[in-house]
Amino acid sequence: MTEKIRGKFYPLQNSEWVECCKSLTKSQLSVLYYLRSIDPYSNGITVKSSHLAEKLGITKRAVNAAISVLVEKSYLDKSYLPDQIDSIEEQVRAALLKEVGGQTEVITAVGRIDLLTSSEVIEIKNINDWKEALGKILAYSAFFPSHNKRIHLFGRPDLTKLALAQATCTEFSVTVTFEEVR
């Protein structure tokens, strides 16, 4: 095989590979070399962290954490950093926090509660993901049994989905609220 491979490739050097293997976690390595494989010369691309997470089989949170470390260690340019509020869900959560107070991202043994107030456990999701929200709120409520359970949905109005979500959630004593976001 003496044919040359044509195309744009990242020129990975052995010394770089060894250094990265010693100083980065598996998730950080995966994110770094996935990004370098699709943008070998750092020309600037836009890739959603949810897309990276799906491709690499890791969580969106792990992708964002990896990118932060990679930027801090100068493996990636700052342009790869996600915005402070990079998703509609986070914007909705921030607005709801101002309205009702409480704490965000409260850690439990089964995951992070989106918003915990003195009286409610609140899961925030796009209306299309209401079933996921129901499962999460039921799991989280076990850690705060005296709190009311609430799912705060957002998105484009879909009265059929909203009615189905409300009817189903009522069976589990879960309140459903909705906020229109286009």
99-134 pLDDT, tens digit per residue, is: 999 999 899 999 999 999 999 999 999 898 899 999
147, with CB counted inside 10 A (0-12, 13-18, 19+), is middle
How far is C-alpha 5 from the chain's CA centre? 37
The region of weakest confidence among 14-18, 66-70, 126-130, 157-161 is 14-18
Residues 59-104: pLDDT tens digits? Answer: 888 888 898 888 888 888 877 776 543 478 888 998 999 999 999 9
Instruction: Say if domain 14-80 classifies as CATH 1.10.20.
Output: no
pTM of the entire predicted model: 0.57
| Spatial CA neighbour of 132 closest among 146, 115, 153 | 153
All residues at 6 or more sequence positions from 64 whose CB lies less than 8 Å from its CB, including other chains: 49, 82
The region of weakest confidence among 8-12, 21-25, 166-170 is 8-12
Domain range list for the chain: 14-80, 88-180
